[in-house]
Amino acid sequence: MEFNATCPIPISQYPRVLMAHGGGGKLMHQLIGKMFLAAFDNPLLETQRDSTVVEWTGRKLAFTTDSYVVRPIFFPGGDIGSMAIHGTVNDLAMSGARPLYLSSAFIIEEGLPMDTLWRVVCSMRDAARRCGVQIITGDTKVVDQGKGDGLLINTSGIGVVEHEQKIAPQNIQPGDVVLINGDLARHGMAIMAVREGLAFESRIESDSAPVHDEVFSLIDAGIEIHCLRDLTRGGLASALNEIAEASGRRIQVVEKSVPVREDVHAACEMLGLDPLHVACEGRFAAFIAAKDADRALTILRRQAAGAEAAVIGRVAENSGPLVTLQSAIGASRILDMPSGEQLPRIC
Amino acid sequence: MCLAIPGKVESISGDDPLTRMGKINFGGILKEASLAYVPEVKVGDYVIVHVGFALSRVDEEEAHKVFGYLKEMEELAELEDSDTEPPPRRDKP
Amino acid sequence: MKYLDEYRDGDQAHQFAREIHRITTRPWNIMEVCGGQTHAIVKFGIDELLPKFITLIHGPGCPVCVTPLEMIDKALELASRPDVIFTSFGDMLRVPGSTTDLLSVKATGGDVRIVYSPLDAVKIAEQNPAREVVFFGVGFETTAPATAMAIFQAAQKGLKNFSMLVSHVLVPPAIEALMSSPNCKVQGFLAAGHVCTVMGYEEYPPLAAKYHVPIVVTGFEPLDILHGVLMVVQQFESGRAEVENQYTRSVRREGNRPAQELIHKVFKVVARKWRGVGEIPQSGLGLNDPYAGFDAEKKFGLADHHVDEPADCLSGLVLQGQIKPHECPAFGTKCTPEHPLGATMVSSEGACAAYYRYRRQN
């Protein structure tokens, strides 16, 4: 067997890992693709979904993992703890799995106030209860001061898939309608609002929330779901580009249809950010068979969490992989994968 | 360049003209900006803000002129016997 | 948002476009000076609504793009010092210097902080009296009032640990340099609306007369840009070459006098090198003698040195409007936003980055 010991990431370009490698954009996908996927190499990993479904003794289990680091630890609408629970529950929901058990590993920076840790842990307890999951195993490490960003949490999750739909990018069809369950960019801008150097007064709260109930409402109503993807770092643009890449399809988005609250829109304008590139936490994109699109929208809108749900685009007949956007004035352009960290600009 | 956005002056503080600050409301979010360069601005006015400084007061009458001009164009076009081709619209990329 | 979103209406955009189509009889080249206008044009697809006769040439109005390599290297040198807190607008963080960029310096432990306003940098200096705080003062005339105030207030407060790396550039000398170039194809200009908000447009009539080019001071939203294009084309088609103001809701003929006064108090006009273009006389701002103590280059004894641009990088020709980004052989291959050769690919409103993100299908 050939053993290749050369690092696949061009060292001449990136001798060190950058923040952008964790930003949800192109550099991160390059790191994952060229290094992790290439090294770990197996057909289950190739499906590249939020949670991977495996057949085990006749049942289908979904398994996922995610790590959470956020500054500040407490932000309007949530904290790293609730984020860690919701995020992993949502990754399981993206396979249509009922979330069952989570693990929780803490990497704590020496010097973190004990009270802060307790607040986070209580928040996790409350979130887990709301989601109907149990945290059944975990780990704790403490690292030197200056090495841990305060607190890092990894949560892994197991869920059970009890439906027969194959929800994966490979099942997307031309004509599929793309729905999202609510307005965008709230999480990213809620964090910006309290970030030092950029802070502003606002009522923007993170949209961090579990979405599995919304997903089940669609599954239970017999809606034909071809793909689900939760929107996190890199926002809608990142998620749709991932799916276009994995499915080879061309996805068309209509900018006017994408719901963004006025204050979130204003905050983005002030800092020069594109709301389609800004992180969300309790949002997902659903690729629904055209025949079920209207019904799906009605079902989502009936729920408090999905009141702002909207149809934002469709899968085109022509091949991709590409994501295009029809702008507010009707002209068409590419909606690119965001490149690294979203930085505010003055120009 | 020069990302500058319009916002409404909600309150003003400071007596010294050079350190006069305003709390500006941009579509529901509030941020402080220096009003040093717009001494004539009052609460309720709209200003254009770039990197924390108000650079001009929005002239509300002038702001509507673009739309007035468009309306005139529309009326003129309706009056004329127009055989103009509309610009090609791209429906699909 | 009031006074912003109304200027993005699709139907009215098409109305302007129809009128432009109606009156255009010949090919015309129009340069939009400001990078923010370039960004809007490509992001909204404004040029798609225009008749094929109209060519929009993207100008050098991207202060990030034109900051000379030597200046970026000086910034990197300062940011790497353990005693320095290096503050900057977000735009500059990814711009490549000779060997690295500010974001990478941050990654390896440099105290690099993004600020929204230059006054935030002054605040940081007040809060950290034991450290040196340097602010990267880039931008056109639009940003100069803000940096002037920061220096002025730092002087008033008697701050000894605050300094600025001054790299301001001025628009009218750049337009003059462009127009006097024999290869220049530009027949009319959309002048930068926010630069003119500060400086007014009294400097433009001599340029319009000398080179017989219409100059219309234009805003940044789709309706502004289309209205500006219409006004330029109306002038073309009637043989006029005058200075007009489209962005009247913000720009007055004399500009902002208090801002101009403080700029002249704190800064003086100096020669400045424009990355990709070369040195343009009287095209930059430097600190006036009473404020020389705030000049980071002097304070830290940063030597002047000359650095060559990567040979493959044609950003100079792009900035001068001589070629379009996709006509550069390195575009999309050797040079992408992830590994840019020059600033026009890094800056979010650099023409190359805009083309790459929004237009790659061409």
Q: Please give the structure tokens belonging to residue A142.
A: 């403490």
For tokens 């294009």, name the residue: C229
Buried b (16+ CB within 10 A) or exposed e, A67-106: ebbbeebbbbbbbbbbbbbbbbbbbbbbbbbbbbebbbbb
Pick from A17, A196, A343: which is nearest to C90 by CB? Answer: A343
Which residues of chain C have a CB within 8 Å of the CB of B48?
194, 197, 250
For tokens 């963080």, name the residue: C93
Fold of B5-61: SH3 type barrels. (2.30.30)
Beta bridge partners of residue A334, listed in sequence order: A324
For tokens 């370039």, name the residue: C38
Buried b (16+ CB within 10 A) or exposed e, A148-164: bebbbbbbbbbbebebe
Better pLDDT: C351 or B25: B25
Q: A275 CA to chain B: closest CA distance, Å?
A: 15
* Contact (CB, 8 A) for C18 and A309: no
Give helix C222-237 / helix B60-79 axis angle, nearest 10°: 60
Q: What is the pLDDT of residue B85?
A: 53
Handedness of CA C6, C9, C11, C16 (dihedral sign): positive
Q: What is the pLDDT of residue C307?
A: 77
* Contact (CB, 8 A) for A286 and A227: yes
Q: A182 CA to chain C: closest CA distance, Å?
A: 20
Q: C255 CA to chain A: closest CA distance, Å?
A: 20
Q: C222 CA to chain A: closest CA distance, Å?
A: 8
For tokens 């081709």, name the residue: B85
CB contact under 8 A, C360 and A334: yes
C residues 264-323 lying closer than 8 A (beta carbon) to B: none
What rounded mean pLDDT belongs to chain A?
Answer: 90
Residue C98 CA from chain centroid, whole number: 21
Average pLDDT over residues A133-150: 84
- Specify the 3-state DSSP secondary structure of A87: helix
| pLDDT tens column, A195-204 | 877 889 999 9
Which residues of chain B have a CB within 8 Å of the CB of C252?
56
Domains, chain A, in order of start with CATH, read 42-161 (3.30.1330.10), 169-334 (3.90.650.10)
The chains in contact with chain B, meaning 3 or more Cβ pairs closer than 8 Å, are A, C
CB contact under 8 A, B5 and A324: no
Q: What is the pLDDT of residue A339?
A: 74
Q: What is the pLDDT of residue A32?
A: 82
Q: Hey, which bits of C230-319 come out as E strands? A: 243-245, 267-274, 278-287
Say whether the peptide bond before residue B93 is cis (omega within 30 degrees of 0): no
- Show me where the domains of chain C are located: 5-62+181-245
Q: Does A330 reach chain B within 8 Å, measured CB to CB? A: yes
Buried b (16+ CB within 10 A) or exposed e, C214-233: bbbbbbbbbbbbbbbbbbbb
A197 closest CA partner among C117, C259, C281, C304: C117
Which residues of chain B have a CB within 8 Å of the CB of C135?
none
Pick from B37, B84, B87: which is nearest to C256 by CB? Answer: B37
CA atoms within 13 A on the CB side of A238: 29
Which residues of chain A have a CB within 8 Å of the CB of C35?
347
Helix (H) or strand (E) holding C352: helix C351-359
Pairing relationship of beta strands C215-218 and C243-245 according to DSSP bridges: parallel
Q: How confident is the model at residue B83 (pLDDT cuts 50, 70, 90)?
A: low
Better pLDDT: C61 or A286: A286
What rounded mean pLDDT belongs to chain C?
Answer: 91
Using an 8 Å CB-CB cutoff, list residues of chain B that contact chain C: 1-6, 8, 18-19, 26-27, 34, 36-39, 46, 48, 50-53, 55-56, 58-60, 62-63, 65-67, 69-70, 73-74, 77, 84-87, 89-90, 93
* Contact (CB, 8 A) for C111 and C132: no
Compute the distance between CA of residue C38 and CA of residue C352 in angstroms, rounded to an integer.
Answer: 10
Q: Does B87 reach chain A within 8 Å, measured CB to CB? A: no
Give helix then strand counts, H and E, for chain C. Answer: 16, 11
What rounded mean pLDDT belongs to chain B?
Answer: 88
pTM of the model: 0.91
pLDDT at A284 over 90: yes
Q: What is the pLDDT of residue C275?
A: 82
CB contact under 8 A, A263 and B1: no
Give residues with Cβ within 8 angstroms of C308, minimum separation 6.
none
| pLDDT tens column, C118-168 | 999 999 999 999 999 999 999 999 999 999 999 999 999 999 999 999 999
pLDDT at A29 over 90: no
Q: Please give the structure tokens belonging to residue C148.
A: 């002037």
Average pLDDT over residues C262-282: 91
Pick from B29, B50, B51: which is nearest to A202 by CB? Answer: B29
Better pLDDT: A125 or C348: A125
Beta bridge partners of residue C31, listed in sequence order: C57, C189
B86 closest CA partner among C15, C28, C41, C25: C15
CB pairs under 8 A between A and C: 115
Buried b (16+ CB within 10 A) or exposed e, A207-242: bbbbbbebbbbbbeeebbbbbbbbbbbbbbbbbbbb
Q: C115 CA to chain A: closest CA distance, Å?
A: 5
Give residues with Cβ within 8 angstroms of B56, minimum separation 6.
B38, B47, B48, C197, C250, C251, C252, C256
| pLDDT tens column, C177-221 | 888 888 888 999 999 999 999 999 999 999 999 999 999 999 999
| pLDDT tens column, C209-242 | 999 999 999 999 999 999 999 999 999 999 999 9
CATH number of C5-62+181-245: 3.40.50.11750
Q: How confident is the model at residue C12 (pLDDT cuts 50, 70, 90)?
A: very high
Pick from B52, B60, B73: which is nearest to C119 by CB? Answer: B52
Give residues with Cβ within 8 angstroms of A152, minimum separation 6.
A67, A68, A69, A106, A107, A108
Q: Is the ipTM of this complex over 0.85?
A: yes
Q: Please give the structure tokens belonging to residue A201.
A: 């007064």
* Contact (CB, 8 A) for A121 and A129: no
* Contact (CB, 8 A) for A46 and A131: no
Angle at C334 between CA A33 and CA C36, to 5 degrees: 95
Q: What is the pLDDT of residue A255?
A: 96
Q: Does C251 reach chain B within 8 Å, measured CB to CB? A: yes
Better pLDDT: A8 or C46: C46
Compute the distance between CA of residue C342 and CA of residue C356 in angstroms, rounded to an integer.
Answer: 13
- Show me where the domains of chain B are located: 5-61
Better pLDDT: C91 or C209: C209
Compute the distance between CA of residue A166 and CA of residue A148 in angstroms, rounded to an integer.
Answer: 39
CB contact under 8 A, C116 and A13: no
CB contact under 8 A, C89 and A328: no
Q: C47 CA to chain A: closest CA distance, Å?
A: 9
Q: How confident is the model at residue A3 (pLDDT cuts 50, 70, 90)?
A: very low
Pick from A265, A333, A347: which is nearest to B2 by CB? Answer: A347
Compute the distance between CA of residue A322 and CA of residue B7 in angstroms, rounded to an integer.
Answer: 37
Q: C73 CA to chain B: closest CA distance, Å?
A: 22
Pick from C4, C44, C113: which is nearest to A329 by CB? Answer: C44
